[in-house]
Structure 1
Amino acid sequence: MKTCLKNLWDTDVEFIERMDLFLKDVEDEPELNERTRTLAICASLVGCQALDVFTCIVEDTLEVSLKAIELKELLYQACAYLGYGKVYPFIQQTNGILKQKQINLPLPSQSTTSKQTRLKKGSQAQVDIFGEHMKDFYKSGSKDSVHINRWLAENCFGDYYTRNGLTLREREMITYCFLAAQGGCEPQLNSHIKANIRIGNDEAQLISILSQCLPYIGYPRSLNALRCIKEAV
């Protein structure tokens, strides 16, 4: 973020002074390690489609507080929640930064599933995150829509949540950030807040993460997310 603010020094000095002061206040508030903080902010920036600020932060933090594989895993998983159309520019931009830093592409594979196992392992990931009521959820639904529940298990969870590079808790945390930053999907946000709490990201942790993302996604979406946390708890 500091790189982005420097770019405005000649034109918007008063804004920079206030934003810099606010960012320092935010950084001092919750107790988060730098890696978790950077992971959450990057996820929220993808969620709210802030490509320019995302680029600045990645250039400043890549291989310092966030590894290349962790960033790529974040972007791959974002496709399930934001759509390929929104995530493609972020993947392209990240590839350019990695090449500038002379990091070889493609990165080592993090996949743990095959075409034959993605459904089974994805369904198990749903159970691990949400509970036993998700067992065989992919079979539920009307005849004309059951395929969507199957895709949810084999694609969203089987293709992404089963990968290495991020833990299951970290994957649920970035999903929470995607949804909070995207806005307009509070039912899903509420469900994933409950899932986060279930697997160890408690209320205090979720509020700390939200606090770090607030300067980037604004007050309305942050207050909506805070309400969802309180409702879920």
Structure 2
Amino acid sequence: MDPTSLSRQQQAIAPIGAAMATGDLPQLHAALHEGLDAGLTVSDAREILVQLYAYAGFPRSLNALGELMKVLEARRQRGVQDAPGRDPAPLPTGRELLALGTANQTRLSGGPVKGALFEFAPAIDEYLKTHLFGDIFGRDNLDWPSRELATVGALAALAGVEPQLQAHIRISLNVGLTASQLRGVADVLAQRGQREAAARARAALDKHLGEAARR
């Protein structure tokens, strides 16, 4: 498929997420250049790498942010002035942040998120609601479709997290991305040499669509 249903900026996001998640800094270096050339702002690129610590860990995020700094400095030395983008608006705190995160999680997931796992470990439920869906997804300097493209790219690149990838395929569709666009994401990953990530993304989408057809 020709991934033209994705904008140039959107096409650039998943490869950044995949390279960040695997710690492939040369590949990330190239993906960041490509993303900035496509029109991602400095804020966009930075926010993607900050968000993905929640999926790939602080070490990967810190290394990736360091690589972004190198990319930006190299571009400045060449006379390239990348648009800075904008900072997020202030977030609430305390119980208001929990309420915001719970509402965001419900909107993204298409309904309240409950289950035995969250009853078994209520702390992780609160962390997800307050931090991931409040502190991170509550930041308004990157839209939700872009956040999902980054997350799908990262999770597709990681082995053993297929349930989480499946969940974010569903969330991607909930926030307005189409099945055709998600197939485009897999195609872009394959074109960038991230073939295992591409295969996982396709498999997760096919599984979701197959289950939806049987309902």
Cα distance in structure 2, aligned partners of 1:164 and 1:35:
17
Q: Deviations over 1:117-173 (max 9, x none)?
A: 322211111011012222x78x9412xx21111111111111111112211122122
- Give 1 or 2 for the bigger CA radius of gyration: 1
Aligned to 1:212: 188
Please state whether the residue corresponding to 1:220 is helix, strand or coil: helix
Cα distance in structure 2, aligned partners of 1:29 and 1:182:
25
Whichever residue aligns with residue 110 of structure 1, its letter is P
**Measured at CA, do residues 220 and 99 of structure 1 come closer, stay the same or move farther in structure 2, by a change above 3 Å?**
closer
Matches within 5 A, 1:97-108: 97-100=71-74, 101=76
The Cα RMSD (Å) is: 2.6
* Partners of 2:8 and 2:38 within 8 A in 1: no
Candidates 134, 144, 166, aligned match of 1:158: 134
Give 4+ residue runs of structure 1 displaced > 4 Å after superposition: none
Q: How many residues align?
A: 201
Aligned to 1:66: 40
Candidates 83, 87, 91, aligned match of 2:61: 87
Whichever residue aligns with residue 49 of structure 1, its letter is G
Work out the percentage of aligned pairs sharing the same amino acid. Answer: 21
Please give the TM-score of this superposition, normalised by the length of structure 1. 0.76
Cα distance in structure 1, aligned partners of 2:47 and 2:190:
23
Matches within 5 A, 1:9-48: 29-31=2-4, 32-48=6-22
Whichever residue aligns with residue 112 of structure 2, its letter is H
Cα distance, 1:182 vs. partner?
1.8
**Measured at CA, do residues 94 and 185 of structure 1 come closer, stay the same or move farther in structure 2, by a change above 3 Å?**
same
Cα distance in structure 2, aligned partners of 1:212 and 1:82:
21
Cα distance in structure 1, aligned partners of 2:35 and 2:104:
30
Cα distance in structure 1, aligned partners of 2:35 and 2:185:
18
Please give the TM-score of this superposition, normalised by the length of structure 2. 0.82
Matches within 5 A, 1:50-199: 50-62=24-36, 64-100=38-74, 101=76, 109-116=87-94, 117-134=96-113, 140-142=118-120, 145-199=121-175
Aligned to 1:20: none
* Partners of 1:47 and 1:82 within 8 A in 2: yes
Cα distance in structure 2, aligned partners of 1:159 and 1:78:
13
Gaps of 5+ in 1: 1-27
Gaps of 5+ in 2: 210-215
Whichever residue aligns with residue 102 of structure 2, its letter is S
Please state whether the residue corresponding to 1:184 is helix, strand or coil: coil
Cα distance, 1:176 vs. partner?
1.1
Cα distance, 1:77 vs. partner?
0.7
Q: Which has the higher contact order (CA 8 A, sep 6+)?
A: 2
